[in-house]
Amino acid sequence: MTTVAVLGTGAHVPERVVPNNEAGAGAGVDGSWILRKTAIRERRWAAPDEATSDLATAAARAALDSAGITADQLSVIVVATSTPDRPQPPTAAYVQHRLGARDAAAFDLNAVCSGAVFALATAEAALARSGGCALVVGADVYSRILDPADRRTVVLFGDGAGAMVLGPARRGGGIRHCALHTFGELADLIQVPAGGSRRSCDAEALAAGLHYFAMDGRAVREFVAGRLPQLVKQFLHDAAVSPGDVRHVVPHQANGVLLDQLVAELGLPRAETHRTLTHYGNTGAASIPITLDTAARAGAFRPGELILLAGFGGGMAAGLALIEW
């Protein structure tokens, strides 16, 4: 079995900066209200001609450059997204083609905001047996599916992509442990009601706004507060790691106020929590890899330090990964 490590990271966000007052205008809320409720000041929204695959490809190129490998060395590409370019084909096929990764099997994975951790675990398991290198991308363009009049959602989300290149560990370190959880009984807490085989996106659905992203914010907060701390404690126990040994936490960038409450409950006394939501908002599956890349490029991680990735979101799902840098 090969020890698999993160060899490089990359990220890409659109050029358009959307401040709070602009994001909240259609919902009748001002920038100070948004900042107080979410700790978000601004976010990036894609241009009309930008799709998820465009952001994903740019982030992937940055990650390949960081890892010092070329696309033809990839054997697997996994794109985690819940806002694909189209229902078919997979967005990963476009990324594979644009990168020139001819030998890579490419597929999409949808675990909503936990997607990047689910993709990381999937790719790590494949490489542990077969070797080679893999590209994991989390990418979402939520601005396409937001109801501009819904203050519960439109103020939270931004667009972006983050990427990780995985491969055989070069100088120690590696992915130490992963755990994936889904609580399907809570699946309807976060959803886009129309556009699938259950309900087509017909004129009636469009008129009712069923093509927009919808979320029961209070129930989601209760899920995170009630489930995630215990999941993390069990995860670290299973990994034979003391909470005091974790030096960094890279959580899903859901909401700054929620993160403050969550971090206080995790019981990780020496861990630094990394954030990008102030300027990027909640970028869905992209939020963890964007934040990991931002911290890595700032020199926040030292060799041998343990990093906890903690994803949570629609499904409802939670994905945890422990990385030794």
In angstroms, the CA 84 to CA 53 distance is 8
CATH superfamily entry for domain 176-324: Thiolase/Chalcone synthase (3.40.47.10)
Share of the chain above pLDDT 90, in %: 91
Please tell me which residue, 151 or 166, carries the higher pLDDT value: 166
pLDDT per residue as tens digits for the range 83-126: 999 999 999 999 999 999 999 999 999 999 999 999 999 999 99
Q: How confident is the model at residue 1 (pLDDT cuts 50, 70, 90)?
A: low
Please identify every residue annotated as catalytic: 113, 252, 282
Domain 176-324 in the same topology as domain 4-170? yes
Q: How confident is the model at residue 2 (pLDDT cuts 50, 70, 90)?
A: confident
Per-residue pLDDT, averaged over 262-272, amounts to 92
User: Please, what sign has the CA dihedral across residues 225, 237, 296, 99?
Assistant: negative
- Per DSSP, the residues of 31-97 read HHHHHHHH---EEE---TT--HHHHHHHHHHHHHHHHT--GGGEEEEEEE-SS-SSSSS-HHHHHHH
CATH topology of domain 4-170: Peroxisomal Thiolase; Chain A, domain 1 (3.40.47)
CA 238 to chain centre: 24
Q: How far apart are the first and last CA of the chain?
A: 19
Q: How confident is the model at residue 136 (pLDDT cuts 50, 70, 90)?
A: very high
pLDDT per residue as tens digits for the range 47-83: 999 999 999 999 999 999 999 999 999 999 999 999 9
Q: Where are the domains of the chain?
A: 4-170, 176-324
Residue 27 has pLDDT above 80, yes or no: yes
HSE-CB for 281 with a 13 A CA cutoff: 28
Do residues 190 and 314 lie in contact, with contact meaning Cβ atoms separated by under 8 Å?
A: yes
Does pTM top 0.85 for this prediction?
yes
Per-residue pLDDT, averaged over 234-261, amounts to 95
Nearest residue to 250 via CA among 312, 296, 292, 293 = 292
Contacts of 91 (CB under 8 A, 6+ apart): 52, 53, 56, 79, 81, 84, 85, 108, 139
